[in-house]
Chains A and B, each alone.
Chain A
Amino acid sequence: MEWGLRNDGQRLIAAPTGRVDEESWKDFSTRLNAAVHEAAGASLPLVIDLSGLEYMTSKGLRALTMAKNEAKGAVAISLAAPNFTMRRILAISRYNMLFPVVDDVDQAT
């Protein structure tokens, strides 16, 4: 998994690429939690750009839950631009009920 992070002035946008699985979930979780703190410090919402992500297993999804817990309601977290596979995983896990999911990063607020 590779990790990108940018601030467009309105949002902090995290962009993991590759896979989040048994091998990479810890790195993903560590970087995600750091992004939550950065977003909180800047009073920005956090958008997770999934467009470069092949898929995420349950460990990645649970890392999202830990990030949400870490945010303690102070940072809005949304998921953007999932590919077909990720959209399917979000539906199967019902994580599309826990996080806002939008088609395009530009739509995420």
Chain B
Amino acid sequence: MRVRFWGTRGSLPVAQRPASIAVKIARALMIARGRKFETEAEAESFALTELDFATHGTYGGATSCIEIEGGDDDQAFVICDMGSGLREFGINALRRCAEGHPRVYHFFLSHLHWDHIMGFPYFRPAYESGAIIVIHSGHPDAEAALRRQQEAMSFAVPFDALKAHIEFRRHSPGEAIDVGGLRVTMIRQTHAGDSFGYRFERGGQAVIYSTDAEHKPDEMDAEGDFETFFAGADLVVCDTMYSLADMVSLRQDSGHSSNIVAVDLCLAGGAKRLALFHHEPSYSDEDILRMHDETIRYENVVRAGRPRLEVICAYDGLEVTL
């Protein structure tokens, strides 16, 4: 299985500003300390190998959208959420379709908040006749949400002008869905209006998509359900928007989780890899890198003889092959 991250930011798209780029360049020059590079490729190699990610790269600013690829015999694209990262996926998908990939898209929506659906009006395959789009959701009003954001007061092109065949399917936790060679199950999560996490399985491998899920202190008794849902997963993509202290105080009831809760759930479930996801929009690249480093240290401390949980940090453009 393969997972591509097209949008990893939480709540609101963000973009780098000139000042933050200038800081990255200045830091890189200081670390280079006058080294000379004969070619641009040599300089790029230095950047990628000797500079930290926050200096040579960026975690990106598109909102939630990931693609899950089941294997070589893919009959359909499988995508979680339609955040602003969906636009980039759509462009990429058109290229792959031109090379022969079936024009079938299965979306699994965590919920219907704006940052998770805002990319759909910019999803170019939706404007193509012959494309088939199936939207899976635990919410009964997914169609209403997508239609509403393309009403005249919000967007220039009405939903009914989209040329693709679009259908909506509602599912419930406990139900197993077979799509694109993947077996999909879902879990209800704590978020305003509820959200749903998904488990994608194929050939003994499993990927979890669990974003916009709050794990409240007074609901800890129910966390066993998540530990079971995460059990043995090869990759858990998890909402890690806040520090735990923020989650239980300033951001209480905001519907989001913490990096260390994600580690605990993954370790308890015996998951192999955790991808930090749904980054707080006010966080700089340095903030996210620090959070990543701290999460690795926390996992190291509380692992207690269990198999190591690899902690990676999702960024726009990351591709993970299991």
Q: Is the interface of B mostly helix, strand, loop or mixed?
A: helix
Contact A94 B261, CB 8 Å, known A55-B302, A89-B301: no
**Chain A: number of interface residues, binned into ranges:** 20 to 34
B268 adjacent to A22 (CB under 8 Å): yes
> A9 vs B167: C-alpha distance in the bound complex, in angstroms?
70
B298 adjacent to A92 (CB under 8 Å): yes
Among A37-45, A62-70, A73-81, A100-108, the stretch in contact with B? A62-70
Contact A85 B245, CB 8 Å, known A57-B264, A66-B218: no
Is B297 an interface position by the 8 A CB rule? yes
> A95 vs B249: C-alpha distance in the bound complex, in angstroms?
10
> A57 vs B301: C-alpha distance in the bound complex, in angstroms?
9
A93 adjacent to B220 (CB under 8 Å): no
Is B253 an interface position by the 8 A CB rule? no
Contact A95 B245, CB 8 Å, known A88-B301, A89-B298: yes
A58 adjacent to B258 (CB under 8 Å): yes
B304 adjacent to A19 (CB under 8 Å): yes
Interface residues in B240-293 by Cβ distance below 8 A to A read: 243-246, 248-249, 258-261, 263-264, 268
User: Closest chain A residue to B219 by CB distance?
Assistant: A62
Contact A98 B245, CB 8 Å, known A25-B220, A85-B301, A92-B294: yes
A66 adjacent to B217 (CB under 8 Å): yes
> A91 vs B294: C-alpha distance in the bound complex, in angstroms?
9
> A67 vs B109: C-alpha distance in the bound complex, in angstroms?
36
Q: How many residues of chain B have a CB within 8 Å of chain A?
A: 25
> A19 vs B268: C-alpha distance in the bound complex, in angstroms?
15
> A85 vs B298: C-alpha distance in the bound complex, in angstroms?
9
> Nearest chain B CB to A104's CB is how many angstroms away?
23
B217 adjacent to A63 (CB under 8 Å): yes
> A92 vs B299: C-alpha distance in the bound complex, in angstroms?
11
Which residue of the partner chain, among A19, A65, A85, A93, contacts B217 with CB atoms under 8 Å? A65
Chain A CB count within 10 A is highest, among B216, B249, B258, B264, for B264
A59 adjacent to B244 (CB under 8 Å): no
Closest 4 CB pairs of A and B: A94-B245, A62-B217, A93-B244, A94-B243
Q: Contacts A58-B264, A92-B243, A93-B260 known; list 4 others, CB within 8 Å.
A: A62-B248, A65-B217, A89-B301, A93-B244
> Could you list 23 A-B pairs, sorted by A, with CB under 8 Å?
A21-B302, A21-B304, A57-B260, A58-B244, A58-B258, A58-B261, A59-B223, A61-B244, A62-B216, A62-B220, A63-B217, A66-B217, A88-B298, A89-B260, A89-B298, A89-B301, A92-B259, A92-B260, A92-B294, A92-B295, A92-B297, A93-B298, A95-B245
